[in-house]
């Protein structure tokens, strides 16, 4: 079934903001800084299509459950829809739509030839066995088969999904199409057309964004303290790279809480969530603090790399870091953003900071189409180049228009999207 794009308008109720409400409000705010046809802004408030599917699953005990899956396709003026699939109990049409809007901006900021998509299944992946996850994924791929494809819409991993999920998705799609089509999804294992460096890429770009921000504000990484909320792939890779580059990571957390050592943690020795789930509190550290307290630590750089809506109007005044680098998608609510801006806290937005994931997804898609794998060195070199170019484009808007980093990133993205829309025209 194809539902019509959700039409309800944003309610200014900060702490309960859905991704869609936040995304629309951010768009409206950014539109005031850029000379774009209001018709384009109006079109961008609505997704092109939101697909809703039922995904029946035979459980290991023989019983049957039916889950609801979605794929929101926001805008494809610059190329195929692109974005992750999440398995999480809070997945909904509205959440996928908001997240798909962020993907449109993210791809445009990075100047990738993609639009924005996002999807997933409303399910707690922790209650599924591996066999059940495989069956669910294969059936989901079949239900989405008509709307995805290398030139239409290219999913990728997101919360609750990983490289193996993408391999199953690719296999199910390919078997039905009658040929191996690795470019239907990205984030696959390298042995089936995945790219080296894809898994680490969002953490790597988050670290690059932190490094550039520290440099921009005339500081030195070797005198920089960092707190990282979330020790999954994004948080752990960002923490490890920043440590390698000379920063002192004083606190990290997972869903159970945080560990804190003012002298610095040996972050390479802490297993990531993927290596050993929920292992952070089992590490030796002088202090254990809560997941709320890690956000308020007196550090130079705070990296929220767990879930959305963690910096809100309730705690924005208590954020002691000077620089916030968004490793997660949507960790800062719209109201919190305003408070942080008034307080002079620089927020490097998700659509720039964690865009390494989709950038290396683009490299993977190119490798799949060309049937030619790149070396890890080439991937990391080209990622660094793309990040520095995007950073320079956004910095120019920050400086020229005296904007916050998020508004500047939106201006870069919106200008590119609006130009593409004006050039293609509205049909009929």
Site map (CB under 6 A) of ligand GLU, residues 167-206, x = contact:
-------------------xx-------------------
Which span (77-85, 134-142, 319-327, 414-422) binds ligand GLU, by CB under 6 A?
77-85
# chain residues binding ligand GLU, by CB under 6 A: 13
Q: Shortest gap between Cβ of 7 and ligand GLU (angstroms)?
A: 25
For residue 424, the tally of other CB atoms under 10 A from its CB is 10
Quote the CA–CA distance of 35 and 365 in Å, as a whole number: 33
Residues recognised as catalytic: 118
With binding defined as CB under 6 A, does residue 243 bind ligand GLU?
no
**Per-residue buried b or exposed e for 320-329, using 16+ beta carbons within 10 Å of the residue's own CB:** ebbbbbbbbb
84 near ligand GLU, rule: CB under 6 A: yes
Report the distance separating Cα 322 and Cα 317, nearest Å.
12
Sequential DSSP letters for 118-150: EEEEES-GGGS-HHHHHHHHHHHHHHTTTT-BT
- Omega of the bond leading into 428 within 30 degrees of 0 (cis): yes
Residues 96-155 binding ligand GLU (CB under 6 A) are 106
The C-alpha atoms of residue 100 and residue 94 are separated, in whole angstroms, by 10
CB-nearer residue toward ligand GLU: 197 or 357: 357
| Under rule CB under 6 A, residue 156 binds ligand GLU | yes
Tell me how far CA of residue 318 lies from CA of 235, 244, 291, 321, 339, in angstroms: 21, 29, 14, 9, 10
Q: Is 333 in the site for ligand GLU (CB under 6 A)?
A: no
* 386 lies in the binding site for ligand GLU (CB under 6 A): no
Backbone Cα Rg of the chain: 20
Does position 352 interact with ligand GLU (CB under 6 A)? The reply is no
Angle (CA) 110 116 119, round 5°: 130
Interface residue with ligand GLU among 98, 160, 308, 357 (CB under 6 A) is 357
As measured in angstroms, the least distance from the Cβ of 361 to ligand GLU is 3
**Selected binder of ligand GLU within 80, 83, 98, 115 (CB under 6 A):** 83
Question: What mask, x for binding ligand GLU by CB under 6 A, covers residues 22 to 51?
Answer: ------------------------------
With the C-alpha atoms ordered 164, 169, 174, 176, is the resulting torsion angle positive or negative?
positive
Q: Rounded to the nearest whole angstrom, what is the least distance from the CB of residue 35 to ligand GLU in the complex?
A: 28
Residue 312, helix vs strand vs coil: coil
Chain residues binding ligand GLU by CB under 6 A are 82-84, 106, 156, 158, 186-187, 329, 354, 357-358, 361
């Amino acid at each position: 079934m194809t539902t019509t794009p959700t039409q309800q308008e944003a309610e200014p109720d900060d702490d309960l903001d859905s991704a869609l409400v936040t995304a629309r409000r951010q768009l409206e705010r950014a539109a005031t800084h850029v000379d774009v046809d209001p018709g384009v802004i109006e079109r961008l408030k609505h997704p092109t299509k939101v697909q809703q599917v039922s995904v029946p699953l035979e459980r290991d005990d023989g019983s049957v459950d039916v889950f609801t899956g979605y794929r929101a396709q926001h805008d494809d003026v610059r190329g195929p829809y692109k974005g992750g699939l999440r398995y999480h109990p809070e997945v909904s049409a509205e959440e996928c739509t908001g997240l798909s809007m962020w993907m449109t901006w993210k791809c445009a900021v990075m100047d990738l030839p993609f639009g924005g998509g996002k999807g997933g299944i409303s399910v707690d992946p922790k209650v599924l066995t591996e066999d059940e996850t495989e069956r669910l994924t294969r059936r989901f791929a079949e239900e989405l088969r008509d709307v995805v494809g290398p030139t239409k819409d290219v999913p990728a991993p997101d919360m609750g999904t990983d490289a193996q999920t993408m391999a199953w998705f690719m296999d199910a799609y390919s078997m039905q199409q009658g040929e191996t089509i690795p470019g239907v999804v990205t984030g696959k294992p390298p042995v089936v057309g995945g790219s080296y460096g894809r898994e680490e890429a969002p953490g790597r770009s988050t670290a690059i964004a932190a490094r550039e921000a520290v440099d921009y504000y005339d500081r030195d990484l070797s005198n920089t303290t960092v707190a990282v909320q979330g020790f999954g792939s994004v948080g752990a890779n960002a923490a490890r790279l920043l440590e390698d580059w000379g920063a002192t990571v004083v606190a990290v957390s997972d869903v159970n809480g945080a560990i804190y050592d003012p002298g610095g943690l040996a972050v390479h020795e802490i297993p990531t969530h993927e290596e050993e789930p929920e292992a952070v509190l089992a590490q030796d550290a002088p202090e254990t603090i809560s997941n709320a307290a890690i956000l308020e630590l007196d550090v130079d750089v705070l990296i929220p790399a767990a879930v959305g809506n963690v910096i809100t109007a309730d705690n924005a005044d208590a954020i002691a870091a000077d620089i916030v680098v968004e490793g997660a998608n949507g960790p800062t609510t719209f109201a919190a953003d305003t408070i942080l801006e008034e307080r002079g806290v620089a927020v490097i937005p998700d659509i720039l900071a964690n865009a390494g994931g989709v950038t290396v997804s683009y490299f993977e898609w190119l490798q799949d189409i060309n049937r030619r794998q790149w070396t890890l060195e080439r991937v990391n070199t080209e990622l660094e180049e793309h990040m520095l170019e995007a950073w320079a484009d956004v910095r120019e808007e920050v400086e020229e228009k005296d904007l916050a980093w998020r508004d500047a990133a939106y201006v870069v993205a919106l200008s590119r999207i609006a130009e593409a829309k004006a050039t293609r025209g509205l049909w009929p």
